[in-house]
């Protein structure tokens, strides 16, 4: 009888501890990457400065190219 009680207590202890996770039982999903479009001069004027809207380069007046940035 004592052996059964020890086995039962051990199983109960391990079973209960496996149900509790380190993060409180919450599943956390990985953060989604937010990609935004930025624009830069194809001639790399202004040391690769980026802009949030399409337009013309302030140095060489070429059309800015779209670059996807994460």
Q: 65: domain range? A: 35-70
Residue 9 lies in a domain: no
| pLDDT given for residue 68 in this prediction | 73
41 burial via Cβ count (<10 Å: 0-12, 13-18, 19+): buried
Report yes or no: 66 and 39 within 8 Å, Cβ to Cβ. yes
pLDDT at residue 64, as a whole number:
94
Is 46 part of a structural domain of the chain? Answer: yes
42 in Cβ contact with 65 (< 8 Å)? yes
- pLDDT tens digits for 17-62? 555 555 555 666 666 666 678 999 999 888 888 888 999 998 999 9
Residue 65 domain flag: yes
69 Cβ neighbours under 8 A, 6+ residues apart = 35, 36, 37, 38, 50
Give the residue among 39, 41, 33 at the shortest CA–CA distance from 57: 41
- pTM as predicted: 0.46
Number of domains in the chain: 1
Does residue 24 form part of some domain? Answer: no
Whether 29 maps to a domain, the answer reads no
**Average pLDDT over every residue of 60-66:** 93
Higher pLDDT, 15 or 3: 3
């Amino acid at each position: 009888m004592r052996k059964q009680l020890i086995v039962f207590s051990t199983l109960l202890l391990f079973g209960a501890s496996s149900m509790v996770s380190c993060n409180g039982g919450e599943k956390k999903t990985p953060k989604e990457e937010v990609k935004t479009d930025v624009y830069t001069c194809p001639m790399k004027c202004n040391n690769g400065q980026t802009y949030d809207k399409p337009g013309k380069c302030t140095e060489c007046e070429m059309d800015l190219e779209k670059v996807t940035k994460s």
